Amino acid sequence: MNPLQIHIGRVEFATPVFVASGTFGYGQEAAELVDLRTIGAIVTKSIGATPRAGNPPPRLCETPAGLLNSIGLQNVGVHSFVTEKLPFLRAHAGVIIVNVAGRTLEEYQEVVTVLEEQEGIAGYELNFSCPNVKEGGLEFSQKPAVTAAATAAIRRLTQRLVIPKLTPNVTRVSEIAQAAEAAGADAVSLINTVTGMAVDIETWRPRLNTVVGGYSGPAIKPIALAKVYEAANAVRIPVIGMGGIRTWQDAVEFFLVGATAVQIGTANFVDPRSAVQVAEGLRAYLAAKGLGSIAALRGRLQR
Amino acid sequence: MIANHEVARGIFLMRLHAPAIAAVVQPGQFVNIQTQTRPVEQLIPLLRRPFSVCQVDRQQGHFTILWKAIGPGTRLLASHRAGTVLSVLGPLGRGFRLPEHASSIALVAGGLGIAPMPMLAAALQQRGFSFEALIGCRTAAELWGAEELQRLGGRVAVATDDGSAGHHGFVTALLQHWLAQPATATGRQVYACGPMAMLAAVAERCRAANLVAQVAVETIMGCGFGICMGCNLEPAQGVQQFGRYWLACLDGPVFDSDRIRYS
């Protein structure tokens, strides 16, 4: 029995440690550095209906314990994804979850409709929370009714996993998570980046071309934990937690507050094997604690 | 890490033993180094820092990087002594294309842009090609590389911003002078590395001389291998690039000078 094995819907994952969208490309980039099959699931870079250039440079700024970005959903578009990226992923990766982005609900539907023709995809993470695009992005997960309508529309298109990815940039993430659950989501994932900015005091200019960007890395872990805790206490579907996880100890905290799985994001930029190392650490931790399953940790926060 | 010595004011040469990298690295490629040895949960700053490979000794399995303490990441490199084990990812990126024929060759370096030049010069020397090295820096105390490039068979000219060594002014003035000289029958090749403003000037002067230089950019990078998409560069006007942007880590760091915008 594999103590790290989990299920979300009907999908089985060998480990509950995935790589987060936008932090692992389309898998191919890191394949020389890590065996993709040893990662619980690969959540792809966001895919839209058409190719997208993303935002102009500079679009990266490191701050103490964090990273600001304004990549702006640069992606190859769903048709190139199907012909150029998916075959490699299918041949080399385990579970594949495609992150879907759109300016409009129709664009999400279009992408999913195209991908439904393709084998080897376990599910869709719906990027309802990118702070770096002018249209779409955040607005899909800031109002429960909008989240519910968009989730339901995608639910009608597929039997595969539907996983809305939620923003922390709201007052009550639990209401958004409940709306997603009621609309038929199999799970919710959170958090996406936190809105942030940095300023160059010599030039008096913002560090990012877009002025404001998405903040990730260890600095946001306490925020992420609080949001995952809130959401996990509000819904019955699995919560996939992420935000600043670098080590297995970070991951344990997320399981204790109620996560079923976790995703590694910014840490991949430093070490693309992070997800594998976190899973190995979790395995040792479970053994040391005499626990037979990662599920035994879930929501066991003591108060 | 085998050695870490100051070779000019505030500029250090670090020698690393990494046979797998030394065996295959090409001129102009870079490595991404975790500048600290602390455990992962204490990494501040988080990200690795990119460094051009400066010299390589394939037999010994060594290579060097040239570095200067600029920010919190590079400052940490100063504390390392011989024997320190650092995490190094590489070799990364696309390096310089070497010329097919012996042509008139200029290596143009500004500031730390000197870093990839010794390895490039060694490769040129190995092919029996001669070259001229044009080195620019702020002041004589910060000059490194002239002797090294001479030893590799190059003719060296220096420019300093303050006139404390060589030509008083920018290295691009030396390039202008070089471009005014007659080329060999097989043409010219210019290789450049340095700050964006310098590369823009190199590109402009080469364009006026109907040349396309190979320029190595010094761009902020997140991962160094294409997954963060943070090191994007604008393509030059009229250049079609799928997805619109270049990524310095994958498409570069060496670009043909007419392919990028220098903003």
Instruction: Give the angle subtended at the CA of B144 by the CAs of B74 and B215, to the nearest 5°.
Output: 75
Instruction: Inspect the interface and report whether the beta carbons of B220 and A58 lie closer than 8 Å.
Output: yes
Q: Are B149 and B107 in contact (CB under 8 A)?
A: yes
State how far the Cα of A104 lies from the Cα of A133, in Å rounded to an integer.
12
Instruction: Inspect the interface and report whether the beta carbons of A270 and B48 lie closer than 8 Å.
Output: yes
Amino acid at B34: Q
Q: Is the pLDDT of residue A136 over 70?
A: no
Residue B240's pLDDT band (cuts 50, 70, 90): confident
For residue B255, give how far its alpha carbon lies from the nearest alpha carbon of chain A (Å). Answer: 17
Angle between helices B171-180 and B196-208 (to 10 degrees): 20
For residue A199, give how far its alpha carbon lies from the nearest alpha carbon of chain B (Å). Answer: 16
Overall pTM surpassing 0.95 (yes/no): no
Q: List pLDDT tens digits, range A88-127.
A: 999 999 999 999 999 899 999 999 999 999 999 999 999 9
Q: List pLDDT tens digits, range B163-202.
A: 999 999 999 999 999 999 887 777 899 999 999 999 999 9
3-class state of residue A281 by DSSP:
helix
Pull the structure tokens for residue B10: 């505030």
Cα of first residue to Cα of last residue in chain B, in angstroms, is 36
* A10 contacts: CB under 8 Å, gap ≥ 6: none
3-class state of residue A195 by DSSP:
strand
For residue B33, give how far its alpha carbon lies from the nearest alpha carbon of chain A (Å). Answer: 9
Q: Specify the DSSP class assigned to residue B94.
A: B
Q: Could you give the residue numbers annotated as active site of A? A: 130
Residue B170 near chain A (CB below 8 Å): no
* Closest Cα in chain A to B261: A57
Q: Are B220 and A60 in contact (CB under 8 A)?
A: yes
- Average pLDDT of the segment spanning A148-174: 96
Mean pLDDT (chain A) is 95
CA-CA distances (angstroms) from residue A99 to A22, A137, B126? 9, 12, 49
Pull the structure tokens for residue B68: 């200067």
State how far the Cα of B152 lies from the Cα of B207, in Å rounded to an integer.
28
β-bridge mates for residue B33, sequence order: B49, B88
Sheet holding A194-197, edge to edge: A60-63, A66-69, A212-216, A194-197
* A201 contacts: CB under 8 Å, gap ≥ 6: none
Sheet holding B167-168, edge to edge: B167-168, B155-160, B132-137, B104-110, B188-193, B214-216, B254-256
Instruction: Inspect the interface and report whether the beta carbons of B41 and A269 lie closer than 8 Å.
Output: no
Chain B residues with CB under 8 Å of A73 CB are none
Instruction: Give the angle subtended at the CA of A160 by the CAs of A114 and A246, to the nearest 5°.
Output: 100
* Residue listed under structure tokens 């490194």: B144
ipTM of the complex: 0.89
- Average pLDDT of the segment spanning B66-94: 91
Residue B234 near chain A (CB below 8 Å): yes
Q: Is the pLDDT of residue B103 over 90?
A: no
